[in-house]
């Protein structure tokens, strides 16, 4: 079981890197500040540094992604649950990467948690509804704030 968990964990990490690695430095490449290889190197170095910082500083964040609050604690500890989340998230991210879709590994992992909670009949729907409401509202809110900020700043520049 340990080997299988490691394989699924590494697969999810690979999928995350394949989809998310370049996002943070895409402007370096897009603005021609760095060529593709240099931008990719920056992406790899900064993603690795961020990973080390997260492991060191964000213990509560790791706990938040275990599924606590979304499903009962007994389900969170089940090996099939952990492996199912990693497999579903990794496959979804790899498919999105293949088709060039810029998705969030965090959102995909939450989706896997939702699905397993639903299929087992143990989903905490109130918590899930709160998360989905945040997803549905933040994109239009950010778009509106971006529009307003641009309009204001355009007049100042």
Residues 69-109 have pLDDT tens digits of 677 777 777 788 888 888 998 999 999 888 988 888 888 88
Query: Cα separation of 137 and 153, whole Å?
Result: 24
pLDDT exceeds 60 at position 150: yes
**What is the pLDDT, as a whole number, of residue 145?**
96
Q: Which residues pair with residue 68 across a beta bridge?
A: 71
Consecutive H or E run containing 78: none
Both 82 and 140 in a single domain? no
**What is the pLDDT, as a whole number, of residue 78?**
79
Q: How many domains in the chain?
A: 2
What radius of gyration, in Å, describes the C-alpha atoms of the chain?
A: 18
Both 20 and 74 in a single domain? yes
- Give residue 148's region: left, alpha or beta (phi > 0; psi -120 to 50): alpha
Distance from first CA to last CA of the chain, Å, rounded? 59
Structural domain containing residue 134: 125-157
Both 19 and 82 in a single domain? yes
Q: Are 124 and 70 in contact (CB under 8 A)?
A: yes
Contacts of 6 (CB under 8 A, 6+ apart): none
Q: Over range 41-70, report the average pLDDT.
A: 72
**What is the pLDDT, as a whole number, of residue 62?**
58
Both 118 and 136 in a single domain? no
């Amino acid at each position: 079981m340990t080997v299988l968990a490691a394989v699924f964990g590494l697969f999810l990490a690979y999928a995350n890197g394949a989809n998310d690695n370049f996002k943070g430095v895409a402007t370096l490449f897009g603005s021609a500040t760095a060529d593709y290889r240099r931008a990719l190197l920056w992406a790899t170095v900064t993603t690795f540094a961020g990973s080390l910082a997260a492991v060191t500083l964000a213990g509560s964040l790791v706990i938040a992604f275990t599924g606590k609050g979304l499903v009962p604690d007994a389900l969170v500890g089940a090996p099939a649950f952990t492996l199912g989340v990693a497999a579903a998230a990794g496959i979804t991210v790899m498919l999105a990467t293949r088709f060039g879709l810029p998705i969030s590994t965090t959102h995909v992992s939450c989706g896997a948690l939702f699905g397993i909670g639903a299929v087992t009949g143990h989903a905490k729907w109130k918590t899930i509804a709160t998360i989905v409401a945040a997803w549905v509202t933040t994109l239009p809110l950010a778009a509106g704030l971006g529009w307003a900020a641009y309009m204001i700043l355009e007049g100042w520049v």
